[in-house]
Amino acid sequence: MKYKFYSIFILMIYVLFFVHCASESPPKGGPPDTTPPVVLFSSISSGATNVSPVQTLRIEFSEPLNSKTLAKNIIIFPLGEYDTDIRMQGKKLSIIPNSPWKKNVVYTVILGKNISDLRNNQLSEPIHISFTTGNYMPQNSFHGSVAGLKDNLSAVIYISRKTAYPDSIISTPEYYTQSGPDGNFSFDYLPRDTFYVAGYIDLDKSNNYKATFDGVCIPSKTYIVPDTLTRESLTMQAVYDNFFNPRLLRAESIYPGATRLEFTKALAVWNTPGSFQIENVRIDTILYDEKTCVLYHNGIQQDSLTLSLHAIRDYLSCALKDTVLTISVTALADTLYQFEQKNDLLFITPPPGATELSGRFEAPFDTLDLILNQLHYGIYDIPPATVLTRGKWNIRMPVSADYSNINTDSTYTVPIQRTAKSEFGAVIGYINVPVSKICRMVLEDGMHRYETTCEEQQFNFMQVLPGNYTLSYYLDINNNKRTDFGRPFPYRAPEITRILDTEIQVKSRWDTELSEVYKIDIENQ
């Protein structure tokens, strides 16, 4: 009995040992592995001719791969022209033809960027291997880049000779690739023919295009003819949204003088105030915040209001259906104002209506009279101090004709922060050619954005806050003083923002003259 129990115990140990060895798991111990896997060997080199019809494509990597990431990320073109078995054993990947490779067909095997090792380190860029059983391989190619691509995201680019419709190109492509981390991509070993182009931003890294979820890539031109000698190039604009028309989700009265609207997509801030109609009441201010906006208007005396929306567009110029609806007006339930500071602005609800507000500002080491001037209806500018100062602003609100029930007898104590008065700098630079179209230069650092035009071949940025800035430009074709993303269908070319410099230091009270003459690319616009 003891012998039988001992045998079973030993057998269980062996089973557990082999199960452990066979399971796929990251190695234990040591410093964290952040190095992406790389190809060490391929049995078929890209561009190879006269490949045996039964030859297996074997690829050896620098480390074992996560087999779960292979299924969706290995694609062989032409689609439907192959029958293969894909196997992964340790560091070695095998693509075995179940039936012979067809004669004189150019095959392109693509290992997508989302393939990873056991620690989820993805390939740094997609891997392409093209080969044929025949003795001729076309040598035409073209390269491109995706402007505005965010970190850790990849753009998926498809090309096809069969159709110019973007959704059809994506659903039935002839060739496919992904961008690298720098946004660059290329197609090699192509026949010299006209290829139509489409692409999308793979937001969930699924390798499947979801029209309502993924973003799109809009090309600077809809087609390209690859050529070895000219080395054609193409730029695409990354757009992190879809081109479906926006819809109104919710409309509600905040109080008699403010109405909040919520949409499925962010609206364009350049919609005219006349696009929003409330009875015959004047709209003073529209405050946009991503997918919502608040309309500030004269107080409504009735229990309900009629809201009309006409000719409104989102930031991609997609049109909202004209809408008319009735909303119940929310009466003021209390007698207190609400205050909210955002940067150097103070938002007051409900809006007092006064052009300026005067109160006593109390800081730890100073007390003074502080006047806030109205920038827009209900929005006031907080003047700067000599240094960063936090304190309390004591204000007695003036009587408002719109809100006679608001209590004006008491003093409101509002905590505010006054930022230090900034010393500005300037940036002066030059471009290589005079531009016939409107060239707008952009200087931004994530917090601040400045735009200017070029006079002859020189541009000047004045009153720039100190910081480390990126310099870019776009050609404002329609001269509307903003970048237009374009449209994939019906096609409209994007105004692509191109980066020129990422290390421009702006100092206070200092004119920075850039010595480099920047090249403006007009041909590929």
Both tokens assigned to 58: 């074997």
Are the CB atoms for 490 and 218 separated by under 8 Å? Answer: no
What's the confidence (pLDDT) of residue 25?
55
Q: Rounded CA gap, 180 and 128, in Å? A: 12
Which is it for strands 140-147 and 233-239: parallel, antiparallel or unpaired? Answer: parallel
- Helices of type H across 372-438: none
User: Residues 306-332, buried b or exposed e (16+ Cβ, 10 A)?
Assistant: ebebeebbbbbebebeeeeeebebeee
- What per-residue confidence (pLDDT) applies to 408? 59
The answer to whether the bond into 166 is cis (omega within 30° of 0) is: no
pLDDT of 331: 81
Q: DSSP 3-state assignment of 20?
A: helix
Alpha carbon of residue 290 to chain centroid? 14
pLDDT (tens, 9 = 90+) of the chain, 525 residues, equals: 444 544 544 445 444 444 444 445 555 555 677 889 999 999 999 999 999 999 999 999 999 999 888 878 898 988 877 789 999 888 999 999 999 999 989 999 999 888 999 888 988 888 999 999 999 999 899 999 999 998 888 899 999 999 999 999 998 898 889 898 889 999 999 988 999 999 999 888 777 899 889 999 999 999 999 986 767 789 999 999 999 999 999 999 988 888 999 999 999 999 988 899 998 777 878 889 899 999 988 888 889 999 999 999 999 999 999 999 999 998 876 557 888 898 899 998 878 878 999 999 999 888 999 999 998 888 899 999 988 899 999 998 887 766 666 655 568 899 999 988 888 999 999 998 887 678 999 999 988 999 999 888 899 999 999 999 999 999 998 889 999 999 999 999 999 999 999 999 999 989 999 988 998 877 655
8 Å CB contact between 369 and 360: yes
How many contiguous H segments (helices) and E segments (strands) does the chain have? 2, 36
Domains of the chain (ranges, CATH numbers): 39-210 (2.60.40.1220), 248-328 (2.60.40.1220), 338-418 (no CATH), 425-518 (2.60.40)
Q: Nearest-CA neighbor of 259 among 199, 330, 211, 312? A: 330
Q: Where are the beta strands (DSSP E) in 202-316?
A: 215-219, 223-224, 233-239, 248-255, 258-263, 276-278, 283-289, 292-297, 304-309
Closest by CA position to 137, among listed 55, 78, 50, 49:
49
Note the pTM of the prediction, 2 decimals: 0.78
Going from the C-alpha of 289 to that of each of 57, 216, 272, 284, 312, the distances in angstroms are 53, 23, 16, 17, 16
Q: Position of tokens 């531009």?
A: 435
* Cβ neighbours around 473 below 10 Å, total: 22
User: Is residue 170 classed as helix, strand or coil in its secondary structure?
Assistant: helix
pLDDT at 180: 85
At residue 274, what are phi and psi to the nearest 5 degrees?
-70, -15
* Per-residue pLDDT at 158: 94
